[in-house]
Amino acid sequence: MKGKRVTHENGAAAHDIAQVAQAAAAMRAEIAKAVVGQAQVVDQVLAGLIAGGHVLIEGVPGLGKTLLVQALARTFSGTYRRIQFTPDLMPADVCGHTLYDQATRQFTTRRGPVFTHLLLADEINRAPAKTQAALLEVMQELQVTIEGAALPLEPPFMVLATQNPIEHEGTYALPEAQLDRFLLKVRIDYPDHAEETQLVRQVTAGQVGDRLNVDAVTPVIKPEGVLALQRAAAQLRLDDAVQDYAVRIVRATRTWSGVAAGAGPRGGIALVRAARAAALLAGRDFVTPDDVKGMALPALRHRVTPSPELEIEGHGADSILHALLEKTSAPRQ
C-alpha cells in the first residue's frame, strides 16, 4: 500500500531499501558517463564497495581501470589516491612515516596515501612481499600503525588493486593471505566492437592528449551515503536455503576433482556479502540463488588453486567454478 512503511524481521524498511537502491543505480549511471561498456565489471566493483570489501582487478593495460576508480570516487565525493607499485617501493611510501622536524625539534607523522576513501594500488604485484604486506593491516583493520601508534582510517575505505595477467617478468606473486583479503577478483577484458568504437569517439572528440576525464560524472551521494548503502546491504533478507547454497558451493571447491586447494570459510562469507550487494544493485530487498551464482566467480576465483595437471591443460579456476556451479543444485525460488 502506498506510503506504508513495511518492516522486515531484520529491521530494514522496504522503502528505505528502495531509496538506497536508487542511489546505487544513480552511481552506476554516473560511472557509465565516463566508462564505456564494461557493465559487468562496473557492477562487480560497485558490489565490492557496497559490501565493504576490497577488489583486485586483473586486466591488460589500457582498459580503463584507473578511469573506473576515479569515476567511482567522484560519484560519492570521495577522496582518491593512486600508488604505482614498483620493486623499490617501501612500506613507508604506502602507509606513512615519522620524521624529525628541525624547526620544532619534535617528531611529526607524515601520513601516506592510504589515508583516503579509494586507494588504487596499480600493478600491486610489482612490489616485493614486504611492501604488499603493508596493506594487510590497512585492508583488514582499517588502521595504520606508525611507530607503535594506531591511526584509524576514515570510512568508507576501499583498496582497488590491479595486476597484469600476461606480463610476469619482474613481478612478485601475491601471497595467499593477501589474496584472501580481497572480497572479489574482477577480470576486465577487451570491449566489443561497438563499445570500442564509442570509446575511441568519446576520448578523441575535441580532447587533446590522453588525460583521464571524469568531468561528466556528477556526485550523487556523500561518503556517509556509501556507509548507508553498506548498512542496507548487510540487512537484506537471506533465506536459509540460499545461504546453504552458497556454503555448498564453497565446500565443493575443496573436494572438486582437479583442485589443489579450495576456498576457506572466508570464501563463503565473501560470497554471501557480495550476493547481498548484487541484490541491492538489482533493487531487491532479498537475495536470490542467481545473486549467489552471479557473484561466485569474482568471489572465489582467487581462492581456488587448480592442480598443476589442469593448469598444463589450460584449465583455470574459472573453468573449474563453471563446472562446479553446473553440478551444484540451486534452491527453487
Give me the tens of pLDDT residue by residue for the chain, a chain 333 residues long.
Answer: 333 333 444 444 555 788 888 999 999 999 999 888 889 999 999 999 999 999 999 988 777 888 898 999 999 999 999 999 999 999 889 999 888 778 887 888 889 999 999 999 999 888 888 888 888 778 888 889 888 888 899 999 999 999 887 766 667 778 777 888 899 999 998 888 888 888 888 877 766 556 667 888 999 999 999 999 999 999 999 999 999 999 999 999 999 988 888 899 999 999 999 999 999 999 999 999 999 999 999 999 999 988 888 777 777 899 999 999 999 999 976
Q: Which of 163, 162, 155 is nearest to 115 (CA)?
A: 155
Query: What is the per-residue pLDDT for 169?
Result: 66
Phi, psi of 226 (to 5 degrees): -65, -40
Work out the widest C-alpha separation in the chain, in whole angstroms.
70
CA–CA separation, 186 vs 56, rounded Å? Answer: 6
Question: Which long-range CB contacts under 8 A does 194-197 form with residues at least 24 apart?
Answer: 195/36, 195/37, 195/38
CB of 123 closer than 8 Å to CB of 85 = yes
Q: Which residues pair with 56 in a beta bridge?
A: 161, 185
DSSP state of 331: P
Q: 3-state class of 80 per DSSP?
A: strand
C-alpha cell of 333? 525460488
DSSP state of 180: T
Q: Which of 298, 260, 255, 69 is nearest to 161 (CA)?
A: 69
Query: What is the per-residue pLDDT for 212?
Result: 65
Q: Which of 333, 306, 311, 331 is nearest to 321 (CA)?
A: 306
DSSP H or E stretch at residue 56: strand 55-58
Domains and CATH numbers, the chain: 9-229 (3.40.50.300), 236-333 (1.10.8.80)
CB of 267 closer than 8 Å to CB of 181 = no
Question: Which long-range CB contacts under 8 A does 201-205 form with residues at least 24 apart?
Answer: 202/36
| CA distances for 192 relative to 57, 136, 212, angstroms | 19, 36, 21
pTM to 2 decimals?
A: 0.87
CA–CA separation, 324 vs 121, rounded Å? Answer: 32
